[in-house]
């Protein structure tokens, strides 16, 4: 029978140095005679769209191994004539009939007309260490201590051009104990054919493997949990290497046929529970435990906490998440709603930071589990653009024509169409991105909310049109109010400007009219060139608060066909505030639109009370 041997290749020159060492220290971690073993592999794959060929594949394989391994010590002696104690530098662990693996494999084959074949396998097997036969699972774990650990790290992670010169200085280097393991599982597959000409001509076999070529051994024990994506010519080999604290996912083979998502976890021996926090990215999950990530406001953040060595993360909770963090923002002409973040007890979360500073604002997030006994932390520096604001406010409240109507309005126009003169207010904003995000795609826009109250008196009839809550001012975003060549802007980068000329119509039947408007004008920012990007959210940077009110009374009967001016109508009072700008603490929200306000008849007493409030001097 053929046998499979697990070997670890170490250059002869390095081995000769290892034999001369007497170091046996290994970071205070106790290597027991027997170790419990738990390994999980979950691999998913699909054929890349540009891989070519008429057949596409989509499949998955779940593998779980557990059991016990036994310690085997390779003894190394000093090359010296003097008596010397035996030191352990390389420790092997192998299964002895107490390790088993279960597996479930499925791969579907598609042609242009749909599913044409399916390849499957499932079952369980015993895992062996020595004398592994072809077609049998195998496992080997090696701890490399002292000079063996230093030599392995130099061989696998060192500069190939400097290895020779560094070999002779390894003795003075700090401890670098490591471990490595190899796990393979072969199995036979069965074919289900759904069409006459199957792309899989006969039952075959698969061999899946997990190869950790190097990982540091410390007081935390031997364990790991990783998730990453790769483009490769096959999907059945997962290879990992850790060099100087940086994890590398080694491509099993050259080529670009499959898009593969690997998820692997292992634990050998007793490990004190701890929390790892990962940033979830498209290609792989990045360990950010105790690290710091720079993020721009409005950019989606996806993180997860894993309580190790448990496969099940258990119950935990996120703490330190600012109240301004949101899960999303829904906005249209009818509704503006923040989706509040509520997933404090989920291990995997996604959200958007809405508050930051140009120089960065540090936030520490903590994930606690097991009643607070197990804790993991990570940090974010949240950056926001620097904002420059220019506010121009008219001194005038005017009675005059606007478009085809007569209006009492805020501002002073020379010509209503095309617009010439001074609007009631002009708001201009310019932003500068933080240096770390210079050139990052982004857009700006305005959202304006309004509280409106209008009073009309028409020939013994009293009317009121009002909204008590903050409503959207006509359109979302506010730039859609005017044609493209107007001062109102669609979402744009860097600079944005708007103007407003609020007013109340003075109709032929109007005897008296009063208006009071309160406004909140929000400068909105999104870190994307797509205003509907799902990976980003609109966030407010600044809000300008301003208001105006005025009243007018008819002096000339409409039947005389008088002009629209202050001889026909007399301004009874007029007030406007100096606009104030604030940093935003929350998003604009609304459930109504001012364009849907309707004029309603009210009693004379109600009308006069409302009028008295409006004309009261601030």
Counts for the chain of helices (H) and strands (E), in that order: 4, 39
Q: Using alpha carbons, list the distances in angstroms from residue 192 to 55, 102, 116, 119.
A: 16, 22, 9, 6
Q: Is residue 217 a contact partner of residue 242, using CB atoms and an 8 Å limit?
A: no
Backbone angles phi, psi at 464, to 5 degrees: -140, 140
Cβ–Cβ under 8 Å, residues 244 and 214: no
Query: Quick one: which of 209, 210, 154 has its CA closest to 17?
Result: 154
pLDDT at 251: 67
Residues 349-353, mean pLDDT to the nearest whole number: 97
pLDDT in tens, 586-615: 999 999 999 999 999 999 999 999 999 998
Residue 231 binned pLDDT confidence (cut-offs 50, 70, 90): confident
Question: DSSP E strands: which ranges in 395-434?
Answer: 397-402, 405-415, 420-423, 425-432
99 and 201 in a single domain? The answer is yes
pLDDT higher than threshold 50 for residue 554: yes
Instruction: Indicate whether 109 pLDDT > 50.
Output: yes
> Residue 364: which pLDDT band, with cuts at 50, 70 and 90?
very high
Write down the residue that tokens 């004029």 correspond to: 599
pLDDT given for residue 209 in this prediction: 92
Is 224 in the same domain as 305?
A: no
Residues 247 and 294 in one domain: no
Task: Verify that 250 and 298 share a domain, yes or no.
Answer: no
CB 175 within 8 A of CB 216: no
Q: Poorest-confidence range of 241-255, 425-439, 510-524?
A: 241-255
Confidence of residue 18 (pLDDT cuts 50, 70, 90): very low
Average pLDDT over residues 494-506: 91
The answer to whether residue 7 is domain-embedded is no
- Regarding whether 332 and 392 lie in a shared domain, the answer is no
Q: Does residue 88 have a pLDDT over 50?
A: no
Q: Tell me how far apart the alpha carbons of residues 505 and 515 are, in angstroms, rounded to a whole number.
A: 10
State the pLDDT at residue 318. 96
**pLDDT at residue 3 tops 50:** no
- According to DSSP, residue 284 is labeled B
- With a CB cutoff of 8 Å and minimum separation 6, the contacts of 82 are none
d(CA 413, CA 390): 20
Rounded Cα distance between 387 and 394, Å, is 23
> Mapped to the 3 state alphabet, what secondary structure does 426-487 carry?
EEEEEEECCHHHCCCCCEEEEEEEEEEEEEEEECCEEEEEECCCCEECCCCCHHHHCCCCCC
Domain final residue, candidates 384, 409, 426: 384
Q: How confident is the model at residue 269 (pLDDT cuts 50, 70, 90)?
A: confident
**Confidence grade of residue 207 (pLDDT, cut at 50, 70, 90):** very high
Question: Do 498 and 379 share a structural domain?
Answer: no
Q: Which of 237, 254, 272 is the last residue of a domain?
A: 272
Residue 10 has pLDDT above 60, yes or no: no
Q: How many whole angstroms separate alpha carbon 424 and alpha carbon 549?
A: 12
Percent of the chain with pLDDT over 70: 84
pLDDT of amino acid 535: 96
Q: CB burial class (10 A; 0-12, 13-18, 19+) of residue 566?
A: middle
Torsions phi, psi for 316 (to 5 deg):
-155, 180
pLDDT at 280: 92
Note whether 140 and 88 are same-domain residues: yes
CB 299 within 8 A of CB 383: no
Q: Give the structural domain span for 603.
A: 386-615
More confident residue, 325 or 31: 325
> Does any domain span residue 462?
yes
For residues 352 and 456, membership in a common domain is answered with: no
**Neighbouring C-alpha atoms within 13 Å toward the C-beta of 180:** 23
Say if residue 482 is in the same domain as residue 599.
yes
The mean of the pLDDT values for the chain is: 84
For residue 584, pLDDT over 70 is answered with yes
- What is the phi-psi region of residue 202: left when phi exceeds 0, alpha when psi lies from -120 to 50, beta otherwise? beta
Q: Report whether 369 contacts 314 (CB < 8 A).
A: yes
0.75 cut: is pTM over it? no
Any domain includes 39: yes
Residue 503's pLDDT band, with cuts at 50, 70 and 90, is very high
Cα–Cα distance measured from residue 186 to residue 231, given in angstroms and rounded to the nearest whole number:
22
Q: The domain that contains 355 carries what CATH number? A: 2.60.40.3010
Q: Regarding predicted confidence, which is higher, 419 or 179?
A: 179
Same domain, 358 and 214: no
**pLDDT at residue 354 greater than cutoff 90:** yes
- CA–CA dist 345, 306 (Å, integer): 13
| Residue 618 to residue 613: CA distance in whole angstroms | 10
Quick one: pLDDT at residue 253?
61
- Within its chain, how far is the Cα of 482 from the centroid? 35
Query: CA 315 to CA 334: how far, in whole Å?
Result: 39
- Identify the domain boundary among 384, 407, 428: 384
How far apart are the C-alpha atoms of 598 and 600, rounded to whole Å?
6
Quick check: is 488 in a domain?
A: yes
**Residues of the chain above pLDDT 90, percent:** 51
pLDDT in tens, 51-66: 777 888 999 999 999 9
In a domain, 5, yes or no: no
What CA–CA distance (Å, rounded) separates 160 from 488?
Answer: 62
Segment 398-434, tens digit of pLDDT: 999 987 889 999 999 987 667 789 999 999 999 999 9
Contact 341, 350 (CB under 8 A): no
Say whether both 32 and 144 belong to one domain: yes
Tally of domains in the chain? 3
Alpha carbons within 13 A on the beta-carbon side of 565: 5
Whether the CA torsion 332, 403, 503, 495 is positive or negative: it is positive
Compute the Cα dihedral for 317, 39, 37, 27 and give only its sign: negative
Token pair recorded at residue 313: 């993360």
> What residues contact 403, with CB distance under 8 A and at least 6 apart?
416, 417
What percent of the chain is helix, strand and coil (3-state, nearest 5)? 10, 55, 40
Q: Where are the beta strands (DSSP E) in 527-591?
A: 539-554, 569-576, 580-583
pLDDT(80) > 70: no
Length of the chain: 618
pLDDT 10s digits, 272-296: 778 889 999 887 888 898 889 999 9
CA dihedral of residues 305, 308, 314, 320 (deg, nearest 10): -30
pLDDT at residue number 250:
74
Q: Is residue 277 part of a domain?
A: no
Judge whether 265 and 66 are in contact, CB under 8 Å. no
| 249 compared with 512, residue with greater pLDDT | 512
Question: Tell me, what's the pLDDT at 545?
Answer: 97
| 85: in domain | yes
Q: How far apart are CA 287 and CA 378, in angstroms?
A: 10
Task: Give the best-scoring range by mean pLDDT among 201-210, 263-272, 458-467.
Answer: 458-467
Highest-confidence segment of 118-132, 262-276, 433-447:
433-447
373 shares a domain with 390: no
Statement: residue 85 has pLDDT above 90: no
Q: Is residue 8 part of a domain?
A: no
Instruction: Return the structure tokens found at 188.
Output: 């036979």
pLDDT grade, residue 550 (50/70/90)? very high
Q: For residue 136, what pLDDT is reported?
A: 87
- The whole-number pLDDT of residue 479 equals 66
CB atoms within 10 A of CB 364: 11
Q: Is the dihedral of CA 372, 378, 379, 384 positive or negative?
A: negative
pLDDT value of residue 310: 62
Predicted pLDDT of residue 585: 84
Q: Does residue 486 register a pLDDT over 60?
A: no
Contact status, residue 125 vs residue 136, Cβ threshold 8 Å: yes
Local confidence band at 82 (pLDDT 50, 70, 90 cut-offs): very low
Label residue 216 by pLDDT band (50, 70, 90): confident
């Amino acid at each position: 029978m053929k046998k499979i041997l697990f070997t670890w290749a170490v250059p002869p020159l390095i081995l000769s140095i290892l034999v001369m060492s007497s170091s046996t220290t290994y970071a205070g971690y106790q290597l027991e005679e027997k170790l419990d073993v738990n390994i999980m592999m979950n691999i998913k794959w699909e054929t890349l769209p540009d891989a070519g060929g008429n057949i596409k594949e989509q499949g998955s394989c779940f593998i779980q191994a557990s059991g016990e391994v036994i310690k085997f010590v390779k003894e190394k002696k000093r090359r010296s004539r003097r008596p010397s104690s035996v030191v352990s530098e390389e420790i092997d662990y192998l299964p002895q009939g107490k390790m088993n693996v279960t597996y479930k494999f499925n791969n579907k084959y598609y042609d242009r007309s749909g599913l044409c074949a399916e390849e499957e396998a499932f079952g369980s097997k015993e895992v062996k260490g020595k004398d592994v036969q072809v077609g049998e699972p195998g496992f080997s774990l090696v701890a490399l201590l002292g000079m063996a650990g230093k030599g392995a790290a130099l061989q696998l992670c060192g500069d190939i051009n400097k290895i020779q010169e560094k070999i002779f200085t390894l003795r003075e280097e700090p401890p670098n104990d490591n471990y490595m393991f190899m796990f393979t599982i072969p199995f036979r597959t069965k074919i289900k054919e759904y069409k006459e000409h199957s792309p899989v001509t006969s039952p075959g076999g698969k061999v899946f493997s997990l190869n950790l070529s190097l990982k540091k051994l410390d007081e935390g024990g031997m364990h790991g949990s990783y998730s990453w994506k790769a483009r490769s010519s096959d999907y059945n080999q997962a290879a990992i290497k850790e060099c100087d604290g940086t994890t590398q996912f080694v491509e099993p083979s050259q080529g670009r046929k499959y898009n593969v998502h690997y998820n692997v976890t292992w634990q050998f021996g007793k490990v004190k529970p701890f929390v790892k926090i990962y940033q979830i990215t498209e290609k792989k999950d990045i360990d950010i435990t105790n690290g710091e990530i720079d993020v721009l406001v409005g950019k989606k953040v996806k993180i997860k906490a894993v309580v190790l060595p448990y496969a099940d993360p258990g119950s935990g909770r996120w703490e330190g998440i600012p109240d301004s963090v949101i899960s999303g923002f829904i906005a249209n002409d009818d509704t503006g709603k923040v989706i509040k973040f509520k997933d404090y007890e989920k291990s995997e979360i996604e959200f958007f930071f809405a508050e930051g500073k140009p120089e960065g604002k540090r936030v520490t997030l903590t994930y606690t589990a097991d009643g607070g006994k197990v804790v993991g932390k990570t940090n974010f520096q949240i950056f926001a653009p620097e904002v420059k604001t220019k506010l121009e406010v008219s001194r005038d409240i005017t009675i005059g024509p606007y478009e085809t109507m007569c209006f009492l309005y805020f501002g002073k126009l020379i010509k209503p169409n095309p617009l010439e003169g001074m609007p009631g207010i002009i708001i201009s904003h310019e932003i500068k991105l933080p240096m770390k995000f210079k050139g990052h795609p982004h857009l700006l826009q305005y959202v304006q909310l309004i509280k409106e109250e209008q009073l009309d008196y028409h020939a013994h009839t009293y009317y009121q049109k009002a909204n008590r809550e903050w409503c959207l001012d006509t359109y979302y975003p506010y730039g859609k109010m005017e044609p493209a060549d107007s001062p109102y802007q669609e979402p744009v980068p860097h600079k944005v400007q708007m103007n407003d000329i609020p007013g109340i119509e003075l109709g032929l039947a109007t005897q008296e009219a009063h208006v009071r408007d309160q406004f909140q004008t929000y400068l909105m920012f999104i870190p994307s060139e797509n205003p509907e990007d799902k990976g980003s959210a609109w966030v407010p940077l600044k809000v300008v608060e301003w208001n105006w009110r005025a009243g007018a009374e008819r002096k000339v009967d409409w039947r005389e066909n008088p002009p629209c001016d202050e001889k026909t109508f007399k301004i009874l009072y007029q007030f406007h505030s100096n606009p104030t700008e604030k940093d935003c603490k929350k998003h604009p929200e609304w459930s109504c639109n001012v364009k849907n306000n309707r004029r309603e008849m009210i009693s004379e007493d109600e009308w006069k009370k409302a009028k008295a409030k409006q004309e009261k001097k601030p």
